Amino acid sequence: MDNLSDTLKKLKITAVDRTEDSLEGCLDCLLQALAQNNMETSEKIQESGILQLFASLLIPQSSCTAKVANIIAEVAKNEFMRTPCVDAGLISPLVQLLNSKDQEVLLQTGRALGNICYDSHEGRSAVDQAGGAQIVIDHLRSLCSITDPANEKLLTVFCGMLMNYSNENDSLQAQLINMGVIPTLVKLLGIHCQNAALTEMCLVAFGNLAELESSKEQFASTNIAEELVKLFKKQIEHDKKEMIFEVLAPLAENDAIKLQLVEAGLVECLLEIVQQKVDSDKEDDIAELKTASDLMVLLLLGDESMQKLFEGGKGNVFQRVLSWIPSNNHQLQLAGALAIANFARNDGNCIHMVDNGIVEKLMDLLDRHVEDGNVTVQHAALSALRNLAIPVINKAKMLSAGVTEAVLKFLKSEMPPVQFKLLGTLRMLIDAQEAAEQLGKNVKLVERLVEWCEAKDHAGVMGESNRLLSALIRHSKSKDVIKTIVQSGGIKHLVTMATSEHVIMQNEALVALALIAALELGTAEKDLESAKLVQILHRLLADERSAPEIKYNSMVLICALMGSECLHKEVQDLAFLDVVSKLRSHENKSVAQQASLTEQRLTVES
């Protein structure tokens, strides 16, 4: 350390005199000291004030320039030295050196800038202002095709520098994307795929950039999918595969890239991993199985990629995914059910799958998870059943297969995601009068629906419960169903639903309430009165923002309520005639006609 103090003193003098030989000797001493104890040496350098002198030593024509840049790169490994390097004015001369033709100077300069930028806002900002990123990208472009080891080392350093410069900084990442860094990096990966260090650097850079939405289009216009799949096939080590997975996952969120990945053969790789790892209990293998099956499900979220893999239900991929459902592995059961839910996104696929026995497989899976089951598997299997129940032709087939009974076993679930999918599945199935009547008379179900109509913390569950209550009435048109709903306290929720912000829900509620008024007014009138239905209808008719169908159905309902003495009195007290007569000139013909009829009815009854 005494030697170091002498060296620093000597360096101050020689830096001014510019005697190259003695300067070089001092720099060698510093590099030696940094190699022995980087942190302590860096502190001494900072205390000595020599950093400011380095700026004047960073000159292109000096033979010592590379060593000065190397020293800066070494001291900037310490977090506490990065801002002092910026304050000492080192960034601008370093960026100027990026125009050098000397490979060693470029290498050490790239290292210095990369280390100063690491986790340092000041460093990044200074490099940004000096225009360093564009020069580095230009170098990557021009050096891209040269495969000798020294050039590959330089390319690796430059990639690392850009990564440190932009890591977790959206605006700098966007800047690099606008400068066209993505096609260059993809080209690099293709040419230098044998070089582990450079490949790794490219992958980390992709991982950072792929998180940005604006990057996806640029990635889609390159052959990234092909290069990544090619690289993936060569990997044996878990860590390397994991690294590629981390790039694939954000990229696969883009539909165009999904299709490219499918066409590049990624699915076959994923299926192979699943086959190899399914029975292993090693932590790495379990993680790899999860990542591979999750990615498989993600690829199926794209319409084109999904349809390509479905292949009319005859595809090898579809068959393999189907075999995951009866597996004993929870992760595969989950991925299998989610994959089926994704395949079930158009009528043709849904009809084919129901005709080929998928419903029974999903019901068997649900059966295995009734008691203390896996919530994610329950949720996924119910999602698949709900989607399969959308085509009209499938509803009767699924009902006769016993889907409602299988689904009702989960009524006691306390998990909102499961409740939500259970409700959605039932609502999709009950278009038929018979099914709606059967479910609508199921007291346990109706009581649970009424309870969930109050689940204020879970808007989805609350909305679906209301919609199912309304659907049971609308599709069954049954007095017994209405009585069950009245007895279970469901009327007030249907009245509240009529004030929903969603027109479709308002409408469903009004139609159900009109059926209640037509079929079972005596049973429901007390509940309708205490839920303030008449006041709500007055508000809906008076509100100019109400949709035409809401106004129409509100008037139909008003007419139906006149058969109840107490509700009739409320209608008279609220001067409905004024509101209704204004609607006779409504631009919608149906509304105008219904207004005339309602006005007549109100006039006769008054």
pLDDT value of position 4? 82
Structure tokens at 440: 């609508």
Looking at residue 12, its pLDDT comes to 77
Average pLDDT for 597-606: 87
What is the spatial distance between Cα 570 and Cα 576, in angstroms, rounded to a whole number? 10
Q: What was the pLDDT predicted at 35?
A: 95
How many Å is the maximal CA-CA distance in the chain? 115
Give the DSSP letter of residue 382.
H
Environment class of residue 122 by beta-carbon count within 10 Å: exposed (0-12), middle (13-18) or buried (19+)? middle
Give the pLDDT of residue 146: 93
Residues 6+ apart with CB under 8 A from 454: 462, 493
- pLDDT band at residue 9 under the 50/70/90 scheme: confident
What per-residue confidence (pLDDT) applies to 275? 93
Instruction: Provide, rounded to the nearest whole percent, the portion of the chain with pLDDT above 70.
Output: 98
User: Three-state SS for 604?
Assistant: helix
The percent of residues above 90 in pLDDT, for the chain, comes to 88
What is the mean pLDDT of the segment spanning 224-235?
94
Q: What is the pLDDT of residue 364?
A: 96
| Token representation of residue 337 | 């059910």
Locate tokens 């069954």: which residue?
A: 476
**Rg of the chain (C-alpha set):** 35
Mean of pLDDT values over 278-304: 94
Decide which of 472 and 23 is more confident. Answer: 472
pLDDT at position 41 is 94
Average pLDDT over residues 201-213: 92
CA distance 271 to 292: 8
Q: What is the pLDDT of residue 153?
A: 97
**Which helix (H) or strand (E) segment is 299 a member of?**
helix 283-299
Confidence of residue 575 (pLDDT cuts 50, 70, 90): confident
Q: Where do the H-state alpha helices sit in 144-180?
A: 149-166, 170-178
Question: What distance in Å separates the CA atoms of residue 437 and residue 412, rounded to the nearest whole number?
Answer: 21
Q: Per-residue pLDDT averaged across 553-570, rounded? A: 94
Query: Residue 417: which residues within 8 A CB-CB, separation 6 or more?
Result: 375, 379
pLDDT, tens digit (0-9, with 9 covering 90-100), for 446-488? 999 999 999 889 999 999 999 999 999 999 999 999 999 999 9
CA 37, CA 194: separation in Å to the nearest integer? 34
Q: How confident is the model at residue 8 (pLDDT cuts 50, 70, 90)?
A: confident
pLDDT of residue 521: 96
Task: Tell me the helices (H) and strands (E) count for the chain, helix number first.
Answer: 40, 0
Rounded to an integer, what distance in angstroms lies between the CA atom of residue 199 and that of residue 191? 10
pLDDT at residue 185 tops 60: yes
Backbone angles phi, psi at 490, to 5 degrees: -90, -15
Confidence class of residue 543 from pLDDT cuts 50, 70 and 90?
A: very high
Q: Encoding tokens for residue 464? A: 């679906």
The answer to whether 337 touches 300, Cβ cutoff 8 Å, is no
Mean pLDDT of the chain: 94
Q: Hunting for tokens 């003695």 — which residue is that?
A: 22
pLDDT in tens, 299-341: 999 999 999 999 999 989 999 999 999 999 999 999 999 999 9
Does residue 139 carry a pLDDT above 80?
A: yes
- DSSP for 234-277, please give it: H--SHHHHHHHHHHHHHHTTSHHHHHHHHHTTHHHHHHHHHHHH
Q: Which amino acid is at 309?
A: L
CA distance 318 to 299: 13
Q: How is residue 108 written in tokens?
A: 């050490």
Contact 159, 185 (CB under 8 A): yes
Residue type, 540: L
Q: Which of 342, 430, 414 is nearest to 378 (CA)?
A: 414
pLDDT grade for 163, boundaries at 50, 70 and 90 = very high
Rounded-to-integer distance, Cα 333 and Cα 324, Å: 6
